[in-house]
Each structure stands twice: as C-alpha cells, then as structure tokens.
Amino acid sequence: MTTTKHDLVSVITEDHRAFERIFKELESGKGGDRHRKDLVDHVIAELVRHSVAEEQHMYPAARKHIPNGDDVVGHELEEHAEAERVMNDLIGLEPKDKRFDELVSKLIEDVRHHIEEEESDLLPKLQASCSPEDLRELGKKVLRAKEIAPTRPHPAAPDQPPANRILGPGTAFIDKIRDALEGRTT
C-alpha cells in the first residue's frame, strides 16, 4: 500500500516523531528553566491538538473499521485521559517546582507507551482495514482538526463526537486568548 504525506498513518506518526524530538531535548537537560518551560508548554499544546484530532476522526474510524474497535478506542481514551491529567497538573508549574521534572517524566513515559501501542496495533489495523482514499481523507481531517483544536488539556471535556467537535473550536478560542495573555509558548 502506498501512502502519501497526508494520509492518516503518516500524519499521526509524524506527530509522534516530533513529540519524541521534544522529549529527547527535555531529557537532555540542556537549556535553562525558561527554555524547559517553553518546551513543555509547546509539547502540551501539540499533544492536546493531536489527541483532539484523534478523538474526532481516528477513533471513530477505528470503532467503525477494526474488530474490537470499541475496546481498542476505550483503552486509547483512558490513556488520553491520564495524559490530560498529567498535563493539567504541569500547566502553571515552573521548572524550579519539585514536581515539574517528576510530571514531565511521567508525561513522557505515558506518551511513549501510547505511541508504541498506536504504532504497533491501532495504526496497522486501520491501514489494513481502510482504503488508501479513506486514509488520505482521514489524514486531511486530522490536519484540519489540529488547526482549530484547543491548546490546553480539558480533562472533563467530551472525547467523542459529536460533542467534542461542537465544543472544541470554542474551547480552542478561549485557550488561545489565555495563551496570549500568559505569554505561553504554543
């Protein structure tokens, strides 16, 4: 099966590689406190955008197209919820706070585990069960969703359509105002 730059699998795995680059930089310990805080703010914003897009488009496709899709998606959503709780705890913490490094390590560990599961199980199943056209269309939808997604974790927000598609853009607008007012790197 040939893929294009914008098919679902490529879009999701490109995000995963970008997260890993940031994680490695955070783990290197290079840069001062401001740089580390900016990296964490940036990766949180990108993780939230990525998760929202998955919840809006990839997970409904998984429910529809793969055997045991509901169970697989349920597990993925549980992992998203745990990562959101950690990100929520990280927002507002400064690197000098004793919990900062602990929470960053927990977030990295959780996200790496989630990536491994998606890339070894969910994405191959979707690739096998969806047509190349469907995968390209899903990739485009994920990219569009990321453009208008929130930039902060909202653990109590709905994680399934249609509610997440309806509330997401308004939440994103508020997040972007808050980010600008706080000088948060997103």
| 25 found inside a domain | yes
- Residue range 154-176: average pLDDT? 52
Q: Is pLDDT at 155 greater than 60 in this prediction? A: no
Q: What is the pLDDT of residues 25-83, one digit of tens each?
A: 999 988 899 999 999 999 999 999 999 999 999 999 999 999 999 999 999 999 999 99
Number of domains in the chain: 1
- Residue range 4-30: average pLDDT? 93
161-166: long-range contacts (C-beta < 8 A, 24 or more apart)?
161/56, 161/60, 164/52, 164/55, 164/56, 165/56
Q: What is the pLDDT of residues 113-145, one digit of tens each?
A: 999 999 999 999 999 999 999 999 999 999 999
| 93 found inside a domain | yes
| 84 found inside a domain | yes
| 170 found inside a domain | yes
**Contact of 152 with 142, CB cutoff 8 Å:** no
Q: What pLDDT is recorded for position 29?
A: 86
**Contact of 8 with 62, CB cutoff 8 Å:** no
Spacing of C-alpha 179 from chain mean position:
18
| 1 found inside a domain | no
| 121 found inside a domain | yes
| 2 found inside a domain | no
| 51 found inside a domain | yes
Q: Which of 13, 19, 49, 47 is nearest to 135 (CA)?
A: 13
Q: What pLDDT is recorded for position 6?
A: 85
**Contact of 4 with 136, CB cutoff 8 Å:** yes
Q: What pLDDT is recorded for position 173?
A: 42
Q: Count of CB atoms within 10 A of residue 64's CB?
A: 11
Q: What is the pLDDT of residues 90-121, one digit of tens each?
A: 988 999 999 999 999 999 999 999 999 999 99
- Global pTM reads 0.84
Q: What pLDDT is recorded for position 3?
A: 42
CATH code of the domain in which 18 resides: 1.20.120
Q: What pLDDT is recorded for position 166?
A: 46
Domain containing residue 34: 8-182
pLDDT band at 159 (very low <50, low <70, confident <90, very high): low
Name 181's Cβ contacts closer than 8 Å, sequence gap at least 6. Answer: none
